Amino acid sequence: MAVAIAGCGGWTQQNFDAGRSRGNEFERGLTVVNAPTLVHHTLAGTVVAVLGNTIVMQQGSDVVAYDAATCPHADNGPCTPLWTRSNTTWGGSDGTHLVFDGPSGTTFEVTDVNRNLLWTGTAQPSEAGDEGFVKLGHVGFSGENLIVGADLYDGHGGTYETVNVFPVTGCGTGSCAPSRTFAHQQWSGWVAGGDTLLLIDEYLRPLTAWSMTTGASLWTTSESFAGGGGADSLRLRGSQVFVLRNAPNTGTAIFDLAGKNGCTGTPVVCSPVRILTKPGVIAASDHVTVMQLAAAGPSGTANRFLALYPPINSACTSPCGPLATTAPVTTWANQGLLSATVTANLVLTVAIPPAFTNRTFHLLAYDAALTSGCSGDPKICQPIADVAIPAGNSASANDPIVSGGRVYVTIPAPNPNDPPTTHVLSLPGDVG
């Protein structure tokens, strides 16, 4: 198992990386040629990670792992687990370390790939609150840092987060406190790259970049932002930080992670190096940057589509418009938001047509090079693959996880007491 994890770029963290980019450039097995041939299978539970050839699932209160070489089965029958860790939830991995949350509280365990305990950590909230409770939040790996959120729910609908930073290798003893903590107002409103942590609060304030090693402020922004969208307000890919702008400003601002381009003064204040005309990045790779847009439709529906922007290192003239949009799909106005995952070759999303029962969702794949299926001026891209996913009476789908030539889409059951189903879409011959 250690060889399988370390030797392959899987999907080890929520949203792929600590920048929440949802861009897996390691995935090259799925192409515009073979995507239309994807075959549908199912697994019980929620796929939370793919570590090399190991599928990691959350099944109720247990974390269960399966060998991708033998799971799923062609008849969709139960698979034999490689291992099970009971009464815990999955945190994340960097391919060498695994993080497991306990059933409650803010203590977690860090193990090696064979699940041997290396050290335990306790995330610290900024305050306790008489009527609130604290639980572990988002977990991420960046550089030599393990980042763990401690989320305070105040009993009145409010959330406050303390971002805890630990050395990945621990503190030299069996039980570790954080080396740094950063308190802010917005639950899950942070991203990280290398040693830099970026925080955006719920209220209108500048974005701030912090050193996780020293705790020093590295730079702030010349304009203020609101983090009401949580992680959707802030994304990081490579050297570029994407931030959803607030009125009277429009679109998405891009800042230099290093705090060099567009930055001046002491303390350092940064202006956007580029503006994208539409609001809110949902996925970014080396090939394409993706946003979601919508227009009102009839009878409580919406027409949703993706705006496809140049690669992150493109020097497009600011404000930059999209190179293409996808053909619209119809959903209910209050559900069916199009998320996206980007690979080296494809942009993938799940479309949820309006219905109440016996629903069929659709995995849609587009050419990330904006060539196949794309035409016109302005350019509109049709899906190069449309794979049906039977969803019964369910109303939502988790974001696609893509790794090892497979697409994993978890669909929650309409009854929250029933287990979710993960739909595994793989190439012919992949499942025996």
What radius of gyration do the chain's Cα atoms show? 21
Looking at residues 194-219, what average pLDDT do you find? 93
Cα(58)–Cα(66) distance, rounded to whole angstroms?
11
For 322-337, write each residue's pLDDT tens digit.
Answer: 999 999 999 999 988 8
What is the predicted pLDDT for the residue at 6?
A: 35
With bands split at pLDDT 50, 70 and 90, how would you rate the model's confidence at 131? very low
Query: Taking a C-beta distance cutoff of 8 angstroms, is the pair 380, 325 a contact?
Result: yes
Give the per-residue pLDDT at 201.
79
Q: How confident is the model at residue 126 (pLDDT cuts 50, 70, 90)?
A: low
Mean pLDDT of 330-356: 94
Across the range 43-47, mean pLDDT stands at 96
Strand 133-142 vs strand 145-153: parallel, antiparallel, or unpaired?
A: antiparallel
Determine contact, residues 173/216, Cβ cutoff 8 Å: no
**190: helix, strand or coil:** strand
What per-residue confidence (pLDDT) applies to 340?
95
Tell me the domains of the chain and their CATH numbers. 2-426 (2.130.10.10)
Contacts of residue 341, defined as CB under 8 A and 6 or more positions apart, other chains included, come to: 16, 22, 23, 24, 283, 347, 348, 349, 399, 400, 401, 402, 407
- As a whole number of angstroms, the distance between CA 303 and CA 63 comes to 37
Provide mean pLDDT across the span 367-387. 97
Question: What distance in Å separates the CA atoms of residue 314 and residue 154, rounded to the nearest whole number?
Answer: 43
Across the chain, what does the average pLDDT equal? 90
DSSP assignment letter at 399: P
- Could you report the per-residue pLDDT of 144-177, keeping only the tens digit for each? 999 998 877 666 656 678 899 999 999 999 999 9
pLDDT tens-digit series, residues 70-114: 999 999 999 999 999 999 999 999 999 999 998 777 899 999 999
In the predicted structure, residue 235 carries a pLDDT above the cut 70: yes
